[in-house]
């Protein structure tokens, strides 16, 4: 299937009563052993580029560059960045393999332990090198009981 429709999920923020929405996408990522690992990514159009913690990539045997990019750091955390790619299939779509540029954040041998959540590097699906391969759109119109808050739509370009 070259089109995937994923319902948006809602969580009630007790302090305000607002229902906050989230879109997640599972990617199968190819490893050094040519196997696939299924990893959840938050779909984040506010991210310029896809990110993944280096330590998680290392843990899952996902290829990543040996050295960080000199003079480049993750703005929120100050952590080093390795510039590489993820070879992925989108779970729920056909078996097309995509190469998504990815910044691997932090030390591959040491998981980041920041003091607050905003500084935790995360699996974020960003725009660069992704939206030219798959069209990602958000349709917040409720689609009945199947998708009360609408859908994330992913289509092969």
Which helix H or strand E contains 7, and what residues bound it?
strand 3-7
Contact assessment for residue 156 and residue 134, using Cβ atoms and an 8 Å cutoff:
yes
Candidates 142, 153, 155, 156: give the one binding another protein (CB under 8 A): 142
* Owner of token pair 């196997």: 35
Distance, in Å, from the CA atom of 115 to the CA atom of 57, rounded to the nearest integer, reads 22
CB of 69 to another protein, least distance (A): 5
Of 140, 155, 154, nearest in space to 9 by CA: 140
The yes or no reply on residue 74 touching another protein (CB under 8 A) is: yes
Six-digit token pair at 2? 């070259």
The yes or no reply on residue 93 touching another protein (CB under 8 A) is: no
Residue 144's SS3 state is: helix
The yes or no reply on residue 107 touching another protein (CB under 8 A) is: no
Six-digit token pair at 73? 């750091």
Of residues 42-61, which lie at the interface with another protein (CB under 8 A)? 42, 44-49, 51, 55-56, 59-60
The yes or no reply on residue 9 touching another protein (CB under 8 A) is: yes
Distance, in Å, from the CA atom of 75 to the CA atom of 39, rounded to the nearest integer, reads 24
Candidates 129, 138, 139, 156: give the one binding another protein (CB under 8 A): 129
Q: Judged by CB, which is closer to another protein: 83, or 155?
A: 83
Six-digit token pair at 110? 């040491």
* Owner of token pair 């009563």: 17
The yes or no reply on residue 69 touching another protein (CB under 8 A) is: yes
User: How many amino acids of this chain bind another protein (CB under 8 A)?
Assistant: 70
The binding site for another protein (CB under 8 A) comprises 7, 9-15, 19-20, 22, 24, 26, 35, 37-40, 42, 44-49, 51, 55-56, 59-60, 63-65, 67, 69-76, 81-85, 87, 99, 101, 103, 111, 117-120, 122-124, 126, 128-129, 132, 142, 144-149
């Amino acid at each position: 299937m070259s089109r995937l429709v994923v319902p948006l999920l809602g969580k009630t923020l007790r302090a305000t009563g607002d229902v906050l929405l989230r879109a997640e996408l599972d990617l199968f990522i190819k490893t050094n052993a040519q196997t696939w690992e299924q990893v959840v990514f938050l779909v984040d159009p506010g991210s310029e580029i896809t990110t993944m913690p280096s330590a998680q990539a290392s843990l899952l045997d996902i290829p990543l560059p040996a050295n960080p990019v000199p003079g480049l750091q993750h703005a929120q955390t100050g952590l080093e960045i390795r510039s590489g790619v993820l070879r992925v299939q989108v779970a729920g779509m056909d078996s097309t393999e995509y190469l998504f540029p990815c910044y691997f954040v932090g030390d591959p041998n040491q998981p980041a332990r920041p003091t607050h959540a905003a500084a935790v590097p995360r699996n974020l699906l960003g725009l660069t090198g992704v939206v030219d391969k798959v069209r990602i759109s958000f349709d917040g119109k409720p689609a009945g009981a199947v998708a009360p808050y609408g859908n994330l739509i992913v289509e092969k370009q």
